[in-house]
């Protein structure tokens, strides 16, 4: 299922940005604070921030292949975690 939404989520909780398995993603951090993003294999949420990317407000990626974000795994899902305030992310994927 494709997604083109602005998503809101709580601070310090991993939140799935993807609605299904994807190969690439477009997103922008609309939060007041930084967020961490992590690619996973499957829909199980991460339990830590190791191998996560941090994005400041306004930062993001356009049509970023998951294979480029996490070349060591066959990633299929993307999760975000707001680090200092509630999270807000614009996300789009096929």
pLDDT tens-digit series, residues 2-58: 999 999 999 999 999 999 999 999 999 999 999 999 999 999 999 999 999 999 999
Q: How far apart are CA 58 and CA 11, in angstroms?
A: 17
Residue whose pair of structure tokens reads 């997103």 in the numeric block: 27
For 1, which DSSP code? -
pTM of the model: 0.96
Residue whose pair of structure tokens reads 């609605």 in the numeric block: 19
With contact defined as beta carbons under 8 Å apart, do 8 and 88 qualify?
Answer: yes
Q: What per-residue confidence (pLDDT) applies to 27?
A: 98
**Domains of the chain (ranges, CATH numbers):** 3-93 (2.60.120.10)
Sheet of 3-9: strands edge to edge?
3-9, 87-93, 24-29, 60-65
């Amino acid at each position: 299922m494709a997604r083109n939404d602005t998503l809101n989520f709580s601070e310090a909780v991993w939140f799935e940005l993807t609605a299904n398995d994807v190969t690439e993603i477009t997103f922008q951090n609309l939060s007041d604070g930084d967020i961490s993003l992590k690619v996973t294999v499957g829909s199980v949420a991460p339990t830590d921030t190791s191998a996560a990317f941090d994005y400041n407000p306004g930062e993001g990626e356009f049509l970023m292949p998951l294979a480029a974000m996490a070349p060591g795994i066959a990633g299929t899902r993307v999760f975000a975690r707001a680090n200092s305030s509630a999270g807000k992310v614009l996300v789009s994927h096929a």
